[in-house]
Amino acid sequence: MPSSIFNFERTIPVQPWGRLGSIAALLTILATLGWEGYSRRLGYAPTLNDTPDLWAQARETVRSNSIVIVGDSRPLFDLDLNELEKGLGTRPIQLAIAGSCAFPILAELAADHQFHGTVVCSIVPLMWFAPGGPLLETSEKALKRYHTWTITQRASHYLGMWVERHLAFLKQDDLTLSQLLIRLPIPNRPNAQVPPAFPPYFATTDGDRRTRMTETCARPGPLQTQIRDGWLPLFTPPPPPSYLPKEAFFTGMNQAIEARFRDTARAVKEIQSRGGKVIFVRFPVTEKLKEHEDRLTPRVGPWSRLLKETGAPGIYFEDYPELASFKCPEWSHLSATDSVEFTRRLVPHLKEVMTQ
């Protein structure tokens, strides 16, 4: 066999590599600055992404007697951790996740035999009783990251946090190529129904996962209208799949909902058996979205039954004039300013049920 086969040598052409490298670096910098400037003109600003890594970081700080917040996006927006710490004497840990069914988080805390603290749990029935799909997967993804968090992922997370605090275009839910492609205005067509779009950037997130509505969204304008008009489609359950008889579909749904009631009661009682507490809270929701939620899941249904079967106390915002007087600018969350005052008014009610 000829020896030349084993002595192959690739010839590198003679080129001004230093100049070419400089040009490539310059083009990269100009493209980055251009994309950053364009993102800021669209209204984006530097803020942390609420990633599974950021959630895992918060979960790691939970101690046996911690006060923990779980739920959907409403406690993320509506609760101010500084006011809670001032009123309760200890700083709660924010574990709520936007666009999620929070049941897996409650179940994970119940399975943690070291935990005997207090769980402040937001309930939006349409989300809490979701039998599967993206809402459940969002919580499960965060839990998986917490239980399998590697050193490499941690290092990447902490480096990413530094970069996110300085650049506005690093928005994983808005400005990545995959998200931009998803948002192309493609109409529904046979056998290809386009799901409702999640709302665009309208909040900032800090290292404690405290989320604040931007001023642009808090005041009337195109962004507020866009977000507000997206809630009703998002909070409308999809129709039964055509390949499954309706009776079978609704039977399966009812069975899944009943299982969620049983599993929730079991998780709450497990925490209570260790001396812990679970406090269910219904946060403000207003106008057409409130009418929509009340019609699909009236209070005398899931909320009342949940309190009865778990034996846990509940705080429903409509029961207290000082909590019911707030208006959600886009129907679902409080503005940054109102969230501070709402939290201040909520604290006495939390303290009352925590000492019972």
The CATH number of whichever domain residue 322 belongs to comes to: 3.40.50
Domain membership of residue 18 (yes or no) is no
pLDDT level of residue 76 (50, 70, 90 thresholds): very high
pLDDT level of residue 191 (50, 70, 90 thresholds): low
Rounded Cα–Cα distance for residues 52 and 105 (Å): 13
Domain membership of residue 47 (yes or no) is no
Quote the DSSP letter at residue 161: H
Domain membership of residue 29 (yes or no) is no
pLDDT at 39: 80
Percent of the chain at pLDDT exceeding 90: 65
End-to-end CA distance of the chain: 88
Q: Is 311 helix (H, G, I), strand (E, B) or coil?
A: coil
- Give the structural domain span for 346: 52-179+200-354
pLDDT at 105: 98
pLDDT at 119: 98
pLDDT level of residue 356 (50, 70, 90 thresholds): confident
Read off the amino acid at residue 153.
Q
Domain membership of residue 4 (yes or no) is no
Chain segment 130-184, per-residue pLDDT in tens: 988 899 999 999 999 999 999 999 999 999 889 888 888 877 777 766 666 666 6
Q: Which of 68-72, 117-121, 295-299 has the lowest mean pLDDT?
A: 295-299
pLDDT at 193: 59
169, HSE (Cβ side, Cα atoms, 13 Å): 13
Indicate the pTM of the whole model: 0.85
Please indicate whether residue 237 or residue 256 has the higher confidence score (pLDDT): 256
pLDDT level of residue 98 (50, 70, 90 thresholds): very high
Q: Is the pLDDT of residue 73 over 90?
A: yes
Mean pLDDT score across all residues of the chain: 89
Domain membership of residue 129 (yes or no) is yes
Query: Do 125 and 301 touch, CB atoms closer than 8 A?
Result: yes
Domain membership of residue 38 (yes or no) is no
Query: Do 344 and 88 touch, CB atoms closer than 8 A?
Result: no
Q: Is the pLDDT of residue 289 over 90?
A: yes
Residues 6+ apart with CB under 8 A from 227: 199, 200, 202, 217, 330
* Mean pLDDT on 292-313: 94
Domain membership of residue 187 (yes or no) is no
Domain membership of residue 20 (yes or no) is no
pLDDT level of residue 205 (50, 70, 90 thresholds): very high
* Mean pLDDT on 1-18: 71
Tokens encoding 276: 């812990």
Q: What angle do CA 340, 104, 91 make, to 5 degrees?
A: 30
Rounded Cα–Cα distance for residues 43 and 136 (Å): 30
Rounded Cα–Cα distance for residues 147 and 143 (Å): 6
In the chain, the number of structural domains is 1
pLDDT at 355: 87
Q: Is the pLDDT of residue 4 over 60?
A: no
Please indicate whether residue 14 or residue 241 has the higher confidence score (pLDDT): 14
Q: Is the pLDDT of residue 347 over 60?
A: yes
CB burial string 140-170: b at 16+ within 10 A, e below:
bbbbebbeebeeeeeeebeebbeebeebbbb
Rounded Cα–Cα distance for residues 93 and 109 (Å): 13
